[in-house]
Amino acid sequence: MSFTEMWEALLPIGRDAESGGYHRFAWTPAELECRDWFRDEALRRDLAVEGDANGNLFAWWYPEGARGPAVLTGSHLDSVPGGGAYDGPLGIVSAFAAIDLLRERGARPGRPIGVAAFAEEEGARFGVACLGSRLLTGAIGPERARGLRDRDGLPLASVLAANGLDPERIGEDPGLLSRIGCFIELHVEQGRALREDRPVGVASAIVPHGRWRFGFAGEGNHAGTTLLADRRDPMLPFAEMVQAARRAAVRHGTLATVGRVEVVPNGVNAIPSAVTAWLDARGPADESVRATVAEVREEARRAAREHGVTVDLAEESYTPVVGFDTALRDRVAGVLGGAPVLPTGAGHDAGILAARMPTAMLFVRNPTGVSHAPAEHAEPDDCLAGVEALAAVLDDVAAG
């Protein structure tokens, strides 16, 4: 299967015919179909397929005589709601295609090469981004993870059990980690950083980022019979919190987004009883991100008091600044003939694994500059340039 054939096989899975956006949430039928595709592609290449206790998938190539810790590549198969086709799958399709190239060219890597599909990278189902790699590395405890619930209230533990995984066995896996020497993730670039430049870049850092859940609770009541003075409407402090997030981001030079909100009961003619909103905040430094969130929290509390509403706040995930291993980054950029080196505002499994091993990332140019939306794109020639680049990097790093 060529890159194009693999890409076309994945394209229809989980795609909304109207919007063109993808809905591939962890362990839902669309994502499970992508996992079946992963296993088929691995077996087609005689790679050894292994699933770990945390729901991550691996396909291993053990070239004859290869020894020592593996060079791992790959990415994730899940998507955000209505996401693009490239975020995640590009890294996995490119990994299989790069292995094909190395084999065609008679490469004999001195170290094993693995392809990973990490579970729930987007956190779109259970709220915690990079859940699979966080569990593998111990960045989230198994107890907390088992209690995570999806939008329908289903706990992670039951979803794992329904998919043949033992929820009691999730958590850090030092044995598996010791078999991996480094991780190199190829990913579509998610902004405008590579637009006018070369088709492939190398990551320098991931900026600090996190997610916070604001729960506003008031009193449900009739929209037509409840006087304004009698209302305890959680929609009002929620609306102020959204505006506060924008103001705080401007003040602190950060980014703040409220992209998800749940309203109970969500009826046109009912004052809501509860509004839950999620704040995503990112910025150049931990201090500015923390200051942004603190300011939004204060505004939310003030507005809630004013409207007779309560508000509680929970941090769902936080990733401090990640500086990728400079030796590996320079080696990768050197193999690619001095590829541009750039930071990213997007989170990745490579950022989680960076706490445990040298990691690096390759970015493939995205002409639209759009991501987490259907317009996310990479030109076919740029994708093939990405495959060539990944093959060259794997050839170099796995040499021995």
CB of 203 to Mn ion, least distance (A): 12
CB of 306 to ligand GLV, least distance (A): 32
* DSSP state letters, 74-112: EEE----TTB-SSTTHHHHHHHHHHHHHHHHTT---SS-
Cα–Cα distance list, 136 to 68, 235, 250, 325, 387 (Å): 20, 39, 36, 20, 27
CA 117 to chain centre: 11
CB of 85 to Mn ion, least distance (A): 12
Report CA Rg, the chain: 22
Q: Is 218 in the site for ligand GLV (CB under 6 A)?
A: no
135 binds, among Mn ion, ligand GLV, none (CB under 5 to 8 A by kind): none
Task: Pick between residue 206 and residue 387 the one whose CB is nearest to ligand GLV.
Answer: 206
* DSSP state letters, 273-307: SEEEEEEEEE-SSHHHHHHHHHHHHHHHHHHHHHT
Q: Is 349 in the site for Mn ion (CB under 5 A)?
A: no
127 binds, among ligand GLV, Mn ion, none (CB under 5 to 8 A by kind): none
Q: For Mn ion, how many residues bind (rule: CB under 5 A)?
A: 2
Contact pick of 10, 339, 346, 398 for ligand GLV (by CB under 6 A): 346
Cα–Cα distance list, 124 to 18, 162, 353 (Å): 20, 19, 20
Task: Pick between residue 137 and residue 271 the one whose CB is nearest to Mn ion.
Answer: 137
Cα–Cα distance list, 108 to 61, 99, 104, 203 (Å): 11, 11, 11, 27
Task: Pick between residue 88 and residue 114 the one whose CB is nearest to Mn ion.
Answer: 88
347 binds, among ligand GLV, Mn ion, none (CB under 5 to 8 A by kind): ligand GLV
283 binds, among ligand GLV, Mn ion, none (CB under 5 to 8 A by kind): none
129 binds, among Mn ion, ligand GLV, none (CB under 5 to 8 A by kind): ligand GLV
| Burial 99-138, CB ≥16 within 10 A → b, else e | bbbbbeeebebebbbbbbbbbbbbbbbbbbbbbbbbbbbe
88 binds, among ligand GLV, Mn ion, none (CB under 5 to 8 A by kind): Mn ion
- The residue among 298, 307, 294, 350 whose CA lies nearest residue 325 is 350
Phi and psi at residue 386, to the nearest 5°:
-65, -40
Rounded to whole angstroms, the Cα distance separating 160 from 275 reads 29
Hunting for tokens 């533990």 — which residue is that? 157
CB of 3 to ligand GLV, least distance (A): 22
Cα–Cα distance list, 222 to 225, 234, 235, 311, 338 (Å): 6, 14, 14, 22, 64
Question: Mask of contacts with ligand GLV, 111-130, x by CB under 6 A?
Answer: -----------x------x-
Q: Is 347 in the site for ligand GLV (CB under 6 A)?
A: yes
Phi and psi at residue 193, to the nearest 5°:
-65, -30
Task: Pick between residue 346 and residue 390 the one whose CB is nearest to ligand GLV.
Answer: 346
Please list every residue from 129 through 148 that binds ligand GLV, using CB under 6 A. 129
Please list every residue from 80 through 99 that binds ligand GLV, using CB under 6 A. none
Contact pick of 52, 87, 150, 240 for Mn ion (by CB under 5 A): 87
Contact pick of 55, 88, 218, 272 for Mn ion (by CB under 5 A): 88
Q: For ligand GLV, how many residues bind (rule: CB under 6 A)?
A: 4
**DSSP letter assigned to residue 253:** T
Q: Quick one: angle between helices 380-397 and 326-335, nearest 10?
A: 120
Identify the H or E element spanning 5: helix 3-10
CB of 12 to Mn ion, least distance (A): 20
Task: Pick between residue 55 and residue 347 the one whose CB is nearest to ligand GLV.
Answer: 347
Identify the H or E element spanning 319: strand 310-319
41 binds, among Mn ion, ligand GLV, none (CB under 5 to 8 A by kind): none
Task: Pick between residue 100 and residue 137 the one whose CB is nearest to ligand GLV.
Answer: 137
Task: Pick between residue 87 and residue 280 the one whose CB is nearest to Mn ion.
Answer: 87
CB of 214 to ligand GLV, least distance (A): 18
CB of 280 to ligand GLV, least distance (A): 7
Contacts with Mn ion, residue ranges (CB under 5 A)? 87-88
Contacts with ligand GLV, residue ranges (CB under 6 A)? 122, 129, 346-347
